[in-house]
Amino acid sequence: MPEHPTDAPAKIVLPWRPAPSRLDAFERVVQWYGTHFPDLPLETIDTDDQPFVLAACRNAAMRAADPEQVVVIGDADTLPEPAALRAAIAAARDSDVVHLPYDEYRWLGREGSTQFAAGVPLIDCVYDLVEGACSGVYVATPRTWERHGGQDENFRGWGFEDAAWFLAHQTLLGAPPQRHSGRVYALHHIGEVRAGAAYDANAARMERYTAAAGDPTAMAQLVGLVGAERVA
């Protein structure tokens, strides 16, 4: 049983497309949720996009849920602390902002992930602190996700969709996502290539979000272009 059962109707969704270097982390994340939140259904989600598009998966997860249901969208390599996630689930039910169940993001890397696999408690594993992190685990209702346009599916491959989403959220909802006191722990996997045409296109699109930040009209126009501009 979980340490403290949550009374919020919620489900957990993991965007997931199998990749050899990510399998171990994925299996550990699924096991972790099963141990701490056995009362919540867990499912994976993918789209037909090539390459894998995290933003599209996150949006699809929200579209598939009831508008008032709390949805936990977790990365398939990231473990949130139970108390912080419970607090985020409870708060998100009647909230007009997205909730992040952490105020500290720890990247365990190869060494820390090996320690965790060997039985070392997460809190004691070696880590690098990631300043300004705003991804990993999102908690919200589809109603709130839709109010600020969700995430931009034009970000193809690796990079920037979470930072762009943060600016859109802050500009269109008038506040940043609400953080809860706690940590998330990102497990090791082979990193994505941060170079090439797709990466450059993502960086250029991020510049548009930076320019629109703080201007609700400009940001609303930019978010509204998502469906029309999406690359097949």
Domain CATH code at residue 81: 3.90.550.10
pTM as predicted: 0.91
The answer as to whether 129 is a domain residue is: yes
- Does 164 fall in a domain? no
- Would 161 be classed as within a structural domain? no
SS3 139: strand
Would you state the torsion angle of the CA atoms of residues 10, 15, 21, 25, taken in this order, to the nearest 10 degrees? -10
Q: What is the pLDDT of residues 15-62, one digit of tens each?
A: 999 988 899 999 999 999 999 999 999 999 999 999 899 999 999 999
Give the HSE-up count for residue 4: Cα atoms under 13 Å, Cβ half-sphere.
10
Residue 230: inside a domain, yes or no? no
d(CA 129, CA 149): 29
- Domain membership flag for residue 229: no
Domain limits for position 42: 10-148+175-191
Instruction: Say how many domains are in the chain.
Output: 1
Answer whether residue 218 is part of any domain.
no
44 forms beta bridges with 14
Kindly list the distances between the CA atom of residue 136 and the CA atoms of 73, 77, 99, 130, 212, in Å, as whole numbers in the listed order.
8, 8, 11, 11, 24
Residue 73 lies in a domain: yes
Query: In this predicted model, what pLDDT tens digit does every residue of 82-119 receive, in sequence order?
Result: 999 999 999 999 999 999 999 999 999 999 999 999 99
* Average pLDDT estimate for 60-81: 96
What pLDDT sits at residue 193?
A: 60
